[in-house]
Amino acid sequence: KKGQRFMDEDKELRDVLSKLDEEEKKLQVIRKLQSQLEELEKEQKTLIDRVVEQHLSFKESAIKICNGLSLDCDGLKISIQYTLIQDDMRFFLETRLNQRGYERQGYVQDFPQQYGSKTEVSVRVFLNGLLSSEIQLKGGYTPESVAMDFLSRGWYRLDYSLKYQNDSFTQMSEGKQAFVILKLLLDFSDKKCPILIDQPEDSLDNRAIYKELVEYLKKKKKERQIILVTHNPNIVVGADAENIIIANQHGQNAPNAGGTKFQYINGALEDTKPQTTSNQGILGKHCIREHIYDILEGGKKAFEKREQKYGFKK
């Protein structure tokens, strides 16, 4: 009996040891899984940090663009503002997130404002909520697809404002808009090739032509050759044109030599020598200055001012 008892106790001990061994193996598996889980969580956190950092670059880029392209020079002011497109973001969430319940609806409505004021925090909370299934989605959407779609978008719009002498570009006359565009083309271009401008005075009043356009052309022609097509004497004379090309279309009262449809002559503003040959048509009968008198309204008065300035004789 005593031996039987020892055998029974030994069997029980072996069973206990076997169970302990099994539990130890399970514990090792659990520890291994726990270690793997910790590594995965660490890797996930690293990936989330990288994803959030990349997403934040949209806002950083918008700020850099605003700071880099804004300028205030010679009465011309360009400013850029970045604006969070809250309506688009709210619509994105409404179409993908389950909004059953007051709390979920409030989250969707408040999220864009939180995103604007605390971008990094709100993005992390949103991303973690998707991955943990705390944020419930509508049918047809997965946490991965929603996260990828949301984070790959730039939720900012760039609004440009252009002012000249405190007048907004959108409120200017067409002529003044054209003048501002001309300034942009010339002031912000590195090109040195000649530029052809067709009637830059259109829709500008005379004062604006003389005080702004003419003075601007006089300054810019020192940097780049400017070729103008114009009907205005203030442009020709006031801007001190080096070479005038006058065109005439053949007609009964203004015939060209040989009946040519279009004929041209050119010369300096100071050209006072008429070409009197009768067979040269109307262009050959007058000097450059006299043609300006005849063709351009107000030309003579402009010339008189020029003569007074430089001491030219009539």
Beta-bridge mates of residue 164: 76, 167
The dihedrals phi and psi of 189, each to the nearest 5 degrees, come to: -120, 140
Among residues 183, 262, 197, 266, the alpha carbon closest in space to that of 228 is found at: 197
Contacts of residue 3, defined as CB under 8 A and 6 or more positions apart, other chains included, come to: none
**Burial label, 167 (beta-carbon count in 10 A; 0-12, 13-18, 19+):** middle
Cα 69 to Cα 61: distance, rounded to the nearest angstrom:
12
pLDDT at 206: 64
173-310 CATH pick, 3.40.50, 3.20.20, 3.30.70, 1.10.760: 3.40.50
pLDDT at 297: 55
Cα 183 to Cα 177: distance, rounded to the nearest angstrom:
10
3-state secondary structure of 288: helix
CB atoms near residue 236 (< 10 Å): 23
pLDDT at 141: 92
Residues in the chain, pLDDT under 70: 1-9, 206, 208-210, 273-280, 295-314
pLDDT at 191: 86
User: H or E segment at 25?
Assistant: helix 2-69
**Burial label, 184 (beta-carbon count in 10 A; 0-12, 13-18, 19+):** middle
pLDDT in tens, 212-235: 888 888 999 998 999 998 877 778
3-state secondary structure of 219: helix
pLDDT at 87: 95
- Average pLDDT of the chain to the nearest whole number: 83
Rounded to 5°, angle at Cα 83 from 78 and 88: 140
Any idea where the domains of the chain sit in the sequence? Answer: 1-53, 86-154, 173-310
Instruction: Give the position of tokens 């009968």.
Output: 285
pLDDT in tens, 177-214: 888 888 888 888 888 899 998 888 777 776 766 678 88
Q: What is the pTM of this model?
A: 0.59
Structure tokens at 139: 């049918």
